[in-house]
Amino acid sequence: MAKTILIVDDSVSLRQVVSIALKGAGYDTIEACDGVDALSKLNGEKIHLIISDVNMPNMDGITFLKELRKNPSYKFMPVIMLTTESQESKKSEGQAAGAKAWVVKPFQPQQMISAVGKLVLP
Amino acid sequence: MKEPAHSFGWWRGPMFIGLLGGASVIFFSGLAPAGLTVATGLVALGSLSRHRPPPAQPVTEEESPRPSEPAQGAESEALRTLCLHTLPIWCRHLESARAHTETAVAQLTYRFAALVERLDRTVTALRQTSENPEIVGTFERSNVSLQALIESLRATQQGRTTMLQEVRTLTCHNDELKRMAVEVMKVAEQTNLLALNAAIEAARAGDAGRGFAVVADEVRKLSTMSRQTADGMTIKVNAVNAAIAQTFHAAEQAAAEDDEVLGRSDASVHGVLAGFTHIIDELRQSAEATQAEAFGIRREIEDMLVALQFQDRTSQILAQVCGNLSEMEAMITSPESSDPAHAAELDSSAWLARMEQSYAMLEQRLNHIGARDHPFDEQEQITYF
């Protein structure tokens, strides 16, 4: 059975790009437009990995990650931050919040698939 | 009075806004019409105050008479009012350009995504058809059935050949019968000759040989009957031989025809099976070629989608410029800004530092320091923690 990846980004086109790349590699995808939307979509869905933007309206990626970790069910959920942010301070912030990888946009689909393959839950 | 280092005076503020805004918008939005419009306006606004040299050194009233305070105040107020009206307009233009780009790129990606999905569905359907176990199974079953039919026909033909061999053996037996009939005829003739000699000898013996003459006559009659029987046998054997020969000929002819039909059937079956095999191979090759082509097209679309990621960067850059313009507007509309003494205390270095802090991308930071020919790729795309 295909594994499901939750894609969180306020840019529709970015979500589409990630979704196409992952579907081509055999994953199922669910999309959310910000942290709040993502938290609501986590309920009742079997998710194997999350890819999240950092700068988003309503709830940014780092806050979303912190909220996610408060829930024991998602304590070990692998999260890849996909963002235009490349500052080391931001990366450290993401790492401290529990991100497993930091991908700087624009990304190459093969690199993203490789990162997902390494981190996705069994 | 000496002006503090890195400070705004309202005679310098618009120039800073113009240069900063114009350069930023041109750099970020390229030659897009909306970007150019905003950039031109920003630069024009900046140029309004360029005719006024900055008073870097303290001057005395005797060396360089300054404009009267009321005139300077009126000009500053006019520029402030201009900024107050134009900044929100430029902000809206920027937001409009950003929204247009985002909508267009989103539509493009939706369409590309739909194309990719259709492509995937077509490839899947093609693969299912070419690798359909039912088609292959039907072909295999047909092959086995037709081969069994050919074998059955061949076995029937073999049985007929065996029967013909038996008939040929029967002909040999008939020939033997014919020779036996000839032998019987010869015996009958010899017997007849013996009976004739016996009759002659009986006649010569006179009365004493009369009884013997009767016996000789009976023997002669028997020999005649034997000859007639032998004749009859020969005729019958000849008739049987003729019938067998005719049957054999007919059977041979039928066997030859069957052989030809069998050969033709065999060839037809092999031809049909070869045709099916060819069609299945062609279908498989065609499916493989189409799959390879579809894979190539998918890669091309993926590459295009990667290229479309620029929209996210552009959107962030424009949003950041828009944010700066809004902050500028807020600063102008603040009550303190109307006080020239307070405005002089505004620190441009602090403003620029705040701008730099607000950047998300390396590209923005490089633009900020004026490094124009920088690569757009970030140094390290993926960092694992």
- The predicted-structure confidence for B74-113, as pLDDT tens digits, reads as follows 777 788 888 888 888 988 888 888 888 888 888 888 888 8
pLDDT: is A68 or B147 the higher one? A68
Query: Quick check: helix, strand or coil at residue B378?
Result: coil
CB-CB: which of A12, A85, A108 is closest to B306?
A: A108
Query: Quick check: helix, strand or coil at residue A54?
Result: coil
State whether A99 and B385 contact (CB < 8 Å).
Answer: yes
Residues of A in contact with B309 (CB under 8 A): 13-14, 17, 105-107
Residue B14's pLDDT band, with cuts at 50, 70 and 90, is very low
Out of A38-52, B61-75, B268-282, the most confident range is A38-52
Question: CA–CA separation, B273 vs B266, rounded Å?
Answer: 11
The helix-helix angle for A109-119 and A12-24 (nearest 10°) equals 70
Q: What's the confidence (pLDDT) of residue A29?
A: 95
CA B122-B124-B127 angle, 5° bins: 110
ipTM score: 0.90
- Tell me how close the Cα of B324 comes to any Cα of chain A, in angstroms: 17
- Tell me how close the Cα of A40 comes to any Cα of chain B, in angstroms: 23
Question: CA–CA separation, A9 vs A57, rounded Å?
Answer: 10
Q: Does A66 touch chain B (CB under 8 A)?
A: no
- Tell me how close the Cα of A82 comes to any Cα of chain B, in angstroms: 9
CB-CB: which of A21, A83, A95 is closest to B385?
A: A95
State whether A14 and B312 contact (CB < 8 Å).
Answer: yes
Residues of B in contact with A13 (CB under 8 A): 102, 105-106, 108-109, 305, 308-309, 311-312
Residue of chain A nearest B104, judged by CA positions: A13
Question: CA–CA separation, B19 vs B322, rounded Å?
Answer: 15
pLDDT digit string, tens, across residues B309-318? 888 888 888 8
- Tell me how close the Cα of B272 comes to any Cα of chain A, in angstroms: 40
Residue A5's pLDDT band, with cuts at 50, 70 and 90, is very high
Above 50 in pLDDT, residue B170?
yes
Task: Answer whether B363's CB lies under 8 Å from B350's CB.
Answer: no
Question: CA–CA separation, B4 vs B345, rounded Å?
Answer: 8
- Tell me how close the Cα of B302 comes to any Cα of chain A, in angstroms: 7
Q: Does A100 touch chain B (CB under 8 A)?
A: yes
State whether A17 and B382 contact (CB < 8 Å).
Answer: no
Q: What's the confidence (pLDDT) of residue B20?
A: 47
Q: How many CA atoms lie within 13 A of B259 on its CB side?
A: 10
Classify residue B260 by burial, with Cβ atoms within 10 Å: 0-12, 13-18, 19+. Answer: exposed
Q: What's the confidence (pLDDT) of residue A79?
A: 97
> Which residues fall within 8 angstroms of residue B319, CB to CB, at 6 or more apart?
B98
Residues of A in contact with B105 (CB under 8 A): 13
Long-range Cβ contacts of B246-252 (<8 Å, 24+ apart): B247/B167, B248/B164, B248/B167, B248/B168, B248/B171, B251/B160, B251/B163, B251/B164, B251/B167, B252/B164
pLDDT digit string, tens, across residues B20-64? 444 444 444 443 444 444 444 444 444 444 434 343 344 444 444
Total Cβ atoms within 10 A of residue A34: 20
Residues of B in contact with A118 (CB under 8 A): 384
Residues of A in contact with B108 (CB under 8 A): 13
Q: What's the confidence (pLDDT) of residue B245?
A: 84
End-to-end CA distance of chain B: 56
Minimum mean pLDDT among A90-99, B26-35, B191-200, B290-299: which range?
Answer: B26-35
Which chain B residues touch A if contact means CB-CB below 8 Å?
102, 105-106, 108-110, 112-113, 116, 120, 298, 301-302, 305-306, 308-313, 315-316, 360-362, 378-385
State whether B360 and A84 contact (CB < 8 Å).
Answer: yes
Residues of B in contact with A104 (CB under 8 A): 378, 380-382
> Which of B221, B225, B217 minimizes the C-alpha distance to B197?
B217
State whether B385 and A111 contact (CB < 8 Å).
Answer: no
Task: Answer whether A73's CB lies under 8 Å from A27's CB.
Answer: no
Mutate to test the interface with A, among B117, B121, B300, B382 (most CBs of A within 10 A): B382
Q: Does A102 touch chain B (CB under 8 A)?
A: yes
CB-CB: which of A14, A17, A86 is closest to B362?
A: A86
